[in-house]
Amino acid sequence: MAGATIDHMISLTILIAALLVAMMTYNGLFATAIDYDRNRQVANKAIDIINTICLSPGNPTDWGEINGIVSCFGLQDPRVGGYSLSPYSIMRLNTGSQLVEYPKDSGVFYNNISTNCGDAILTPIGDCVNYTTAAELLGVNGTYGFGVDITPTLNVNVSQVTTNPHLTLNVAVSGSGLPLSGATLRYYLFHMESGSPYPYITTHPPNPPGVAEIGSSGSVDIEFSDVTSGDPVYAFVVYASLGGVNGVGYHANNTIADDTFVVPLIDGYEDGYLNLIFAHSWEFLHPGDEATANYNASFYTLASDFQLQRCVIPNSVGLVNSTAESPITTQIPASETGILIVSYNASDDLGSIIVPWGVGALGVSASFGGDPTGYDFVATELRQVTIDGISYHVKVSAWKLGS
Amino acid sequence: MRTVEVFFVIIILLGAFAITTQFAVLPSPSQAFGTNLRELSQSTLETLDAQGTLSQTVFKDYNDDAWGDLQKALSASLPPNIVYNLNVYNLSTNLDGVATYHLEHSIFDANLGADSDASSLLVTSPDVTFTQDPQKVGESTDNPITLYILNCSDANGWWITGYTGQSLAADVYNLLSPYFTNTMLVNSTYELGLLLNGTLLPDGVESVNNAVVVNTFGEAVPIPDDYCEDGLNETEGFDPTHDIENGGTYAKYFHTLGSLTREHNWTWVSIVGYPFYYVTNTNNPHISSSQNGYGIYGMDDVRQVGINAFLQGLDDAHYSYDETGTATEVGVVNLTPYVRDDRCNYYGIYPAPYQTSSRAITEDILDDYDLIANQELFVRPNDNPVTLYIDESDYIPVTTYRHTERGALTAIGLTRIPDIRVTALALLVYYNPTIYKTVFGASGTSVLVTLQLGQQGGT
């Protein structure tokens, strides 16, 4: 009798153990399936988001050129369609990068789409679309997080080789780690020289742009025989193209270490024009140089075939000082992509800044969105787009919020 | 004994587990993620062709340097772990219209793995211009036809909710003027009077014969002062002996329109609703102060007598005040397969394929007035005892009624809001002008580019 009972207990124990093992195994299978399904949803959401961003201009369609309320989010360029992004809408994104307050202690903050102050015209964050608003407009607020990285397809690196006996620059073009031999270059050099009281700018070559070709090593030296000063101040812009892929690079050289004496800020949109303020960097960079600066500003619109055309702007020369009481203002066309070049004399030295209006003009990168750090699964999607004819990659990352 | 049974149970459990795991091969959660290669491929093709570079390259000789540049561009623009295979197919069409694709050239950088996807782009040669020239209506018989569009500033519309007669006139102009040698807007009821007198003529045109007259005012028809009460042609427009409680009727005006349509061999077009239901003139003292019962002033109702009077005139019959109902509601109707699949594609006009017909016209008029119905645009509904409609199959929603001798009426018996594309389609189906198109499939004019992408190194 006792033997049968023991026999019964042992068999029951083994049975329960086998059941537990089976249940754990099936639980693992189910958990794997559920994880897969959840991740699949995230991956699909990433596709939804990138399609919305790349293939919809949003509403109003020209929201990047006006300061109205955005009721639908998208970055497509409505003038071009397809996989083409608006160069202006991207500049209205609050990228969460370095903010500057102008005037000092005014509570008015400006946003830069890039990480460095002076790499782009600063936009008041009140006019920007922030991450929360974009998430609400995309219908993912509170359920999914996302991030957008917009980067040029081609890396166009410019470096100064020598200034003796004349200025020589090296341009290297690569994409996906490969040197792009045979790429055609179109370039401009804006040479700044001291004047009284304002500096002046000469363009080499005047127009059309200079042309060169990248050699088999992936780079080429470009010489400027008429720029012979020992330490020239200049801004160099080069557009590279090959087989339908286009890129842009630029390089500036100043004799002033702190090269942000003059900082352009957007002061609003008016009748198709962009109101700009030339602020003094002392307002942002404390401690900084308080010296006044005589400036000479030019705006060049980017025409077809990457030719630059000078556009007359008001107050193209003037004096910028460190008080914001009577700021210098100017206007540029809101719907014309281009670059703003400002040369200035300060403390007997010569400096310059070069900033784009429209990200494509200088191949500026932009990052926008939340931080995926700490999430188990992040899906990414990649598309190729053009912005003002320049080739870009758009990468969207998406992740599930909450449990 | 129980131990043996338990072992049996354990064996069954383990067997079930083994079989389940054998067949239920679940993917790893990490495999849920993979770049959508098809859309990446599509965006790559479109960006390469954004400035026409791809279009130029694929038509060049295979030894041209442009092919090498294209390969470098693909390698430079795609991520390092993505491999590609770009194929170019020449597209040609044989005499039967069957398109064939021949592989012309390929470029690739590595063998694609098992996981790949592709997209395609139809590229046309930059050296070829594609054109589409419509034949002018009447051109084939050396008898060019003028299109008159009523655009009267002194008239109101009815059953054109959301539009005005003038805005619809602009739409008709845009849709139909390419098909006519001459198009003329009739900008006032005075000009309409000139048209009815036969003196409103475009330059170089000698008569108003054979014209098409499109009334864009819906159920209302503009009436010139001369045809109104106390006007010079009052006897041709106003009938004081009927509808006396309302001070007479303008049914006679529609009889005159029918007679003129016959005399000049016009095609009169009613764009929506019950044809010839009202007359409208916002400046005439006898009409401007009257309204149609819905607050639209400058309008006097003739009701169902209007179309009967018009058809009498078209049939060269004497005017007779006839209150017989001619149109009725038949519910939702669908485009005929021929119109939807053939004519819509041919002319590039795509109205909504199903619409509500609330003023379909009885086919009795064919016998009563010696008319022949042209191709019907919508399928007549079957008789349905469940609905309140009666004998739906006896009513024609949309067609052009041609008199056996001269003149025609195009009646769009659909409900408001008007779909002006149906009007355009009805006229084009009636006149059937040819469109001369450059053939996209002609050899050497188009190629199909496919880009297949594969991902290396897993996900």
Identify which of B3, B21, B32 has the shortest CB distance to residue A11: B3
Res. A149: pLDDT tops 60: yes
Minimum Cα–Cα distance from B32: chain A residue: A40
Identify which of B10, B33, B46 has the shortest CB distance to residue A43: B33
Q: Do B32 and A377 touch (CB under 8 A)?
A: yes
- Distance from chain centroid for Cα B192: 28
For residue A117, name the pLDDT band (cuts at 50, 70, 90).
very low
SS (H, E, C) chain A: CHHHHHHHHHHHHHHHHHHHHHHHHHHHHHHHHHHHHHHHHHHHHHHHHHHHHHHCCCECCCCCCCCCCCCECCCECCCCCCCEECCCHHHHECCCCCEEECCCCCCCEEECCCCCCCCCCEEEHHHCECHHHHHHHHCCCCCEEEEEEEEECEEEEEEEEECCCCEEEEEEEEECCEECCCCEEEEEEEEEECCCCCCEEEEECCCCCEEEECCCCCEEEEEECCCCCCCCEEEEEEEEEECCEEEEEEEEECCCCCCCCEEEEEEEEECCEEEEEEEEHHHCCCCCCCCCEEEEEEEEEECHHHCEEEECCCCCEEEECCCCCCCEEEEEECCCCEEEEEEEEECCEEEEEEEEECHHHHCCCEEEECCCCCCCCEEEEEEEEEECCEEEEEEEEEEECCC
Give the span between the Cα atoms of A250 and A364, in whole angstroms. 10
Q: What is the extent of the structural domain holding B60?
A: 35-124+441-455
If asked whether residues B108 and B148 sit together in one domain, one would say no
Lowest mean pLDDT of A322-331, B80-89, B448-457, name the range.
A322-331
CATH number at residue B91: 3.30.1140
Q: What is the pLDDT of residue B334?
A: 93
If asked whether residues B327 and B421 sit together in one domain, one would say yes
Give the span between the Cα atoms of A296 and A290, in whole angstroms. 19
Lowest mean pLDDT of B109-118, B189-198, B332-341, B367-376, name the range.
B109-118
Domain membership flag for residue A65: no
For residue B383, name the pLDDT band (cuts at 50, 70, 90).
confident
If asked whether residues B92 and B153 sit together in one domain, one would say no
Set of chain B residues whose Cβ sits within 8 Å of the Cβ of A1: none
Of A370, A314, A304, A369, whose CA–CA distance to A336 is shortest? A304
Indicate the pairing of strand B267-270 with strand B408-412: parallel
Give the span between the Cα atoms of A280 and A285, in whole angstroms. 9
Set of chain B residues whose Cβ sits within 8 Å of the Cβ of A26: 17, 20
Domain membership flag for residue A121: no
Res. A99: pLDDT tops 70: no
If asked whether residues B187 and B69 sit together in one domain, one would say no
Domain membership flag for residue B5: no
Lowest mean pLDDT of A83-87, A281-285, B146-150, B422-426, name the range.
A281-285
Q: Do B32 and A7 touch (CB under 8 A)?
A: no
Q: What is the mean pLDDT of residues B20-24?
A: 74
Domain membership flag for residue A47: no
Give the span between the Cα atoms of A391 and A241, in whole angstroms. 9
Q: Do B44 and A384 touch (CB under 8 A)?
A: yes
Domain membership flag for residue B316: yes
Q: What is the pLDDT of residue B459?
A: 46
Q: By the 8 A CB rule, do B277 and B333 touch?
A: no
Q: Work out how many domains chain B is built from and give that number.
A: 2
For residue A275, name the pLDDT band (cuts at 50, 70, 90).
confident
Please name the residues in contact with B314: beta carbons below 8 A apart, sequence gap of 6 or more.
B258, B259, B261, B262, B369, B371, B403, B407, B409
Residues B40-93: pLDDT tens digits? 999 999 999 988 899 999 999 889 999 999 999 999 999 988 999 999 998 877
Chain B closest CA to A248's CA: distance in Å? 14
Q: Do B10 and A25 touch (CB under 8 A)?
A: no
Residues A346-388: pLDDT tens digits? 877 888 888 888 888 888 888 888 889 889 889 999 999 999 8
Rg (CA), chain A: 28
Residues B318-329: pLDDT tens digits? 999 999 999 999
If asked whether residues B116 and B155 sit together in one domain, one would say no
Identify which of A22, A82, A381 has the shortest CB distance to residue B46: A82
If asked whether residues B300 and B153 sit together in one domain, one would say yes
Set of chain B residues whose Cβ sits within 8 Å of the Cβ of A213: none
Res. A287: pLDDT tops 80: no
Higher-confidence position of A61 and B24: A61
Q: Which residue's entry shows tokens 């307050």?
A: A101
Residue A20 contacts B, CB cutoff 8 Å: no
Domain membership flag for residue B411: yes
Residue B198 contacts A, CB cutoff 8 Å: no
If asked whether residues B433 and B445 sit together in one domain, one would say no
For residue A185, name the pLDDT band (cuts at 50, 70, 90).
very high
Residue B319 has a CB neighbour count (10 Å cut-off) of 18
If asked whether residues B269 and B384 sit together in one domain, one would say yes
Domain membership flag for residue B7: no
Percentage of chain B exceeding pLDDT 90: 63
Set of chain A residues whose Cβ sits within 8 Å of the Cβ of B36: 47, 381
Identify which of B13, B46, B78 has the shortest CB distance to residue A83: B46
Indicate the pairing of strand A245-253 with strand A262-270: unpaired
Interface probe, candidates A6, A10, A11, chain B, greatest B C-beta count within 10 A: A11
If asked whether residues B322 and B236 sit together in one domain, one would say yes
Minimum Cα–Cα distance from B79: chain A residue: A176
Residue A302 contacts B, CB cutoff 8 Å: no
Chain B closest CA to A3's CA: distance in Å? 12
**Exposed, middle or buried, A256 (CB in 10 Å: 0-12/13-18/19+)?**
buried
Give the span between the Cα atoms of A276 and A109, in whole angstroms. 15
Set of chain B residues whose Cβ sits within 8 Å of the Cβ of A37: 32
Model pTM score:
0.68
Set of chain B residues whose Cβ sits within 8 Å of the Cβ of A10: 3
Residue B31 contacts A, CB cutoff 8 Å: yes
If asked whether residues B155 and B176 sit together in one domain, one would say yes
Q: By the 8 A CB rule, do B279 and B300 touch?
A: yes
Q: What is the pLDDT of residue A400?
A: 92
If asked whether residues B219 and B323 sit together in one domain, one would say yes
Domain membership flag for residue B60: yes
Domain membership flag for residue A241: yes
Give the span between the Cα atoms of A341 and A353, in whole angstroms. 6
Residue A401 contacts B, CB cutoff 8 Å: no
Residue A205 contacts B, CB cutoff 8 Å: no
Q: Which of A182-196, A272-286, B130-144 has the highest mean pLDDT?
A: A182-196
Q: What is the extent of the structural domain holding A237?
A: 154-362
Residue B107 contacts A, CB cutoff 8 Å: no
Set of chain A residues whose Cβ sits within 8 Å of the Cβ of B70: 243-244
Set of chain A residues whose Cβ sits within 8 Å of the Cβ of B28: 32, 36
SS (H, E, C) chain B: CHHHHHHHHHHHHHHHHHHHHHHCCCCCHHHHCCCCHHHHHHHHHHHHCCCCHHHHHCCCCCCCHHHHHHHHHHHHHCCCCEEEEEEEEEEEECCCCCEEEEEEEEEECCCCCCCEEEEEEEEECCCCCCCEEECCCCHHHCCCCEEEEECCCCCCCECCCCCCHHHHHHHHHHHHHHHCCEEEEECCHHHHHHHHHCCCCCCCCCCCCCCEEEECCECEEECCHHHCCCCCCHHHCCECCCCHHHCCECHHHHHHHHHHHHHHCCEEEECCCCCCCEEECCCCCCCCCCECCCCCECEEECCCHHHHHHHHHHCCCCCCCCCCCCEECCEEEEECHHHHHHHHHHHCCCCCCEEEECCEEECHHHHHCCEEECCCCECCCCCCCCCCCCCHHHEECEEEEEECCCCEEEEECCCCCCCHHHHHHHHHHHHCCCEEECCCCCCCCEEEEEEEEEECCCC
For residue B101, name the pLDDT band (cuts at 50, 70, 90).
confident
Q: Do A386 and B47 touch (CB under 8 A)?
A: yes
Domain membership flag for residue A217: yes
Q: What is the pLDDT of residue B16?
A: 79
Higher-confidence position of B32 and A26: A26
Q: Do B49 and A174 touch (CB under 8 A)?
A: no
If asked whether residues B359 and B423 sit together in one domain, one would say yes
Res. B397: pLDDT tops 70: yes
Please name the residues in contact with A71: beta carbons below 8 A apart, sequence gap of 6 or more.
A59, A60, A137
For residue B351, name the pLDDT band (cuts at 50, 70, 90).
very high
Instruction: Work out whether the CA dihedral A296, A297, A303, A306 comes out positive or negative.
Output: positive
Percentage of chain B exceeding pLDDT 70: 93
Domain membership flag for residue A120: no
Residue A226 contacts B, CB cutoff 8 Å: no
Chain A closest CA to B32's CA: distance in Å? 5
Give the span between the Cα atoms of B459 and B445, in whole angstroms. 40
Q: What is the pLDDT of residue B92?
A: 78
Higher-confidence position of B313 and A193: B313
Q: Do B6 and A54 touch (CB under 8 A)?
A: no
Residue B139 contacts A, CB cutoff 8 Å: no
Residue B29 contacts A, CB cutoff 8 Å: yes
Interface probe, candidates B47, B55, B121, chain A, greatest A C-beta count within 10 A: B47
Set of chain B residues whose Cβ sits within 8 Å of the Cβ of A377: 29-30, 32-33
Domain membership flag for residue B9: no
Residues A4-36: pLDDT tens digits? 788 778 878 877 887 888 788 788 878 888 888
Domain membership flag for residue A275: yes
Of A127, A124, A91, A66, whose CA–CA distance to A270 is shortest? A66
Res. A1: pLDDT tops 60: no
Domain membership flag for residue B105: yes
Give the span between the Cα atoms of A34 and B21, in whole angstroms. 16
How high does pLDDT run on average in chain A? Answer: 85
Q: Work out how many domains chain A is built from and give that number.
A: 1
Set of chain A residues whose Cβ sits within 8 Å of the Cβ of B31: 36
Higher-confidence position of B8 and A86: A86
Residue A29 contacts B, CB cutoff 8 Å: yes
- Edge-first strand order for the sheet with A123-124 is A99-101, A109-111, A123-124
Q: What is the pLDDT of residue A364?
A: 85
Domain membership flag for residue B8: no
Residues B203-216: pLDDT tens digits? 889 999 999 999 99
Indicate the pairing of strand B435-437 with strand A262-270: unpaired
Set of chain B residues whose Cβ sits within 8 Å of the Cβ of A246: 51
Domain membership flag for residue A382: no
Residues A228-272: pLDDT tens digits? 877 899 999 999 999 999 999 999 888 776 546 788 888 887 888
Please name the residues in contact with B162: beta carbons below 8 A apart, sequence gap of 6 or more.
B417
